């Protein structure tokens, strides 16, 4: 509590000096495609930690939050898909019970079967709210739906919704895979189905690239210096890791040892002040270290740009991510910074 009080006092002074003029761009979502696609894998960033994922014939949503504000802070950018436009949901993945990852009203507004996969200890709270299709998981436990395997994996975090339920439920991330398909995976770098002339997508990506261009950084030989309108086609059944929320820990290496991660959805925001946030939230630099620990092929940043949860800004998070990417000489093609509402069609279909 002493640390929290110190942070609150510092924050009042710091936030007056912060520039929130940059916001994550939003593109028009391809609702028609999402409604009719039940075969090919895709990832659409709604915002913060909310992704609409299509995989193995299932419509999956992660940490559904459409709140217009968090505590007394208004949302910085509109969700990429309106909640009423979200196609019927088969599976809901809840990483933990913090309000920016679990919003009961948002969860109620989703349509479809809505099978909830939640951390152990959270089921009773959700049943009291009227949700019945709930499966609780401990770390490393798995469940199969429609041939798709969901494994609940560790993170370094905590959970609380009121002063009396601190850490009464678990927290973690999820790995989504179809184990039988691993030998079928074909990885190829070709353009996705967005055309180069799609001005909405191209303009939004250019805005993000501009925001993440530090004043001075060491260039890597393969850095193009410009926003690409292409997205890679990687597989019909990629292994996807959704980290939820976490501080940096050695568990990322263990997850990488156990799973052949293709796509890692990792947080990069809510890290400042680091002396207070470090046990709970990774910095952009630590996110790239986690990406390497996982030995993943592609990285989609999340957990930034929607809410003022800490003292960093969306632009600062992207600037630091880009500077560290260059320092580590990681190809810019492997970091997919999505606008809100964009759908990455991973099979190109």
Residues whose CB is less than 8 angstroms from the CB of residue 343 and which lie 6 or more positions away in sequence, other chains included: 29, 30, 33, 34, 42, 43, 44
Residue 227 is predicted with a pLDDT of 41
Residue 130 is predicted with a pLDDT of 95
> Measured between alpha carbons, how far is 152 from 137 in angstroms, rounded to an integer?
6
Please give the CATH superfamily to which domain 2-211+223-345 belongs: Ribonuclease Z/Hydroxyacylglutathione hydrolase-like (3.60.15.10)
Residues whose CB is less than 8 angstroms from the CB of residue 195 and which lie 6 or more positions away in sequence, other chains included: none
Query: Is the pLDDT confidence value at 23 over 80?
Result: yes
pLDDT digits (tens, 9 = 90+) for 258-280: 999 999 999 999 998 888 888 88
Query: Is the pLDDT confidence value at 228 over 50?
Result: no
> Measured between alpha carbons, how far is 143 from 152 in angstroms, rounded to an integer?
9
> Measured between alpha carbons, how far is 339 from 336 in angstroms, rounded to an integer?
10
pLDDT digits (tens, 9 = 90+) for 65-108: 999 998 778 999 999 999 999 999 999 999 999 999 999 999 99
- Which of 170, 198, 174 is closest to 53 using CA atoms? 174
Output the pTM of the full model: 0.86
Residue 73 is predicted with a pLDDT of 84
Per mean pLDDT, which range of 10-19, 180-189, 283-292 is the poorest? 180-189
Q: Are 299 and 164 in contact (CB under 8 A)?
A: no
Band the pLDDT of 9: cuts 50, 70, 90.
Answer: low
pLDDT digits (tens, 9 = 90+) for 34-60: 999 999 999 999 999 999 999 999 999
DSSP string for 103-164: -HHHHHH--S--EEEEETT-HHHHHHTT---EEEE-TT-EEEETTEEEEEE--B----SSTT
Residue 67 is predicted with a pLDDT of 94
* Comparison of pLDDT for 213 and 282, the residue scoring more: 282
Beta strand pairing call for 263-267 and 240-242: parallel
* Comparison of pLDDT for 317 and 165, the residue scoring more: 317
> Domain map of the chain by residue range?
2-211+223-345
């Amino acid at each position: 509590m002493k640390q929290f009080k110190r942070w609150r006092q510092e924050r009042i002074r710091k936030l007056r000096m912060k520039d929130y003029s940059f916001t994550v761009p939003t593109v028009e979502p391809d609702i028609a495609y999402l409604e009719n696609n039940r075969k090919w894998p895709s990832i659409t960033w709604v915002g913060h930690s909310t992704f609409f994922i299509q995989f193995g014939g299932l419509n999956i949503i992660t940490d559904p939050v459409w709140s217009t504000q968090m505590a007394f802070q208004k949302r910085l950018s509109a969700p990429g898909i309106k909640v009423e436009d979200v196609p019927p949901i088969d599976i809901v993945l809840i990483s933990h019970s913090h309000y920016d990852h679990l919003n009961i009203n948002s969860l109620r507004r989703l349509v479809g079967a809505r099978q909830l996969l939640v951390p152990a200890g959270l089921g009773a709270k959700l049943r009291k709210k009227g949700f019945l299709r709930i499966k609780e998981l401990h770390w490393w436990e798995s469940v199969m739906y429609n041939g798709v395997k969901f494994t609940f994996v560790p993170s370094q975090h905590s959970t609380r919704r009121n002063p009396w339920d601190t850490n009464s439920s678990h927290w973690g991330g999820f790995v989504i895979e179809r184990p039988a398909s691993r030998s079928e995976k074909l990885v190829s770098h070709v353009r996705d189905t967005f055309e180069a002339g799609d001005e909405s997508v191209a303009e939004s990506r250019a805005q993000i690239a501009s925001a993440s261009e530090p004043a001075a950084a060491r260039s890597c030989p393969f850095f193009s210096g410009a926003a690409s309108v292409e997205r890679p086609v990687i597989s019909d059944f990629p292994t996807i890791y959704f980290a939820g929320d976490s501080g940096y820990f050695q568990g990322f290496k263990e997850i990488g040892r156990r799973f052949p991660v293709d796509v890692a959805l990792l947080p990069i925001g809510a890290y400042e002040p680091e002396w207070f946030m470090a046990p709970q939230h990774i910095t952009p630099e630590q996110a790239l270290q986690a990406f390497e620990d996982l030995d993943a092929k592609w990285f989609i940043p999340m957990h930034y740009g929607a809410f003022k949860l800490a003292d960093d800004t969306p632009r600062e998070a992207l600037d630091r991510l880009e500077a560290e990417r260059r320092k580590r000489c990681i190809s810019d093609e492997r970091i997919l910074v999505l606008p809100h509402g964009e759908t990455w069609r991973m099979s190109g279909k």
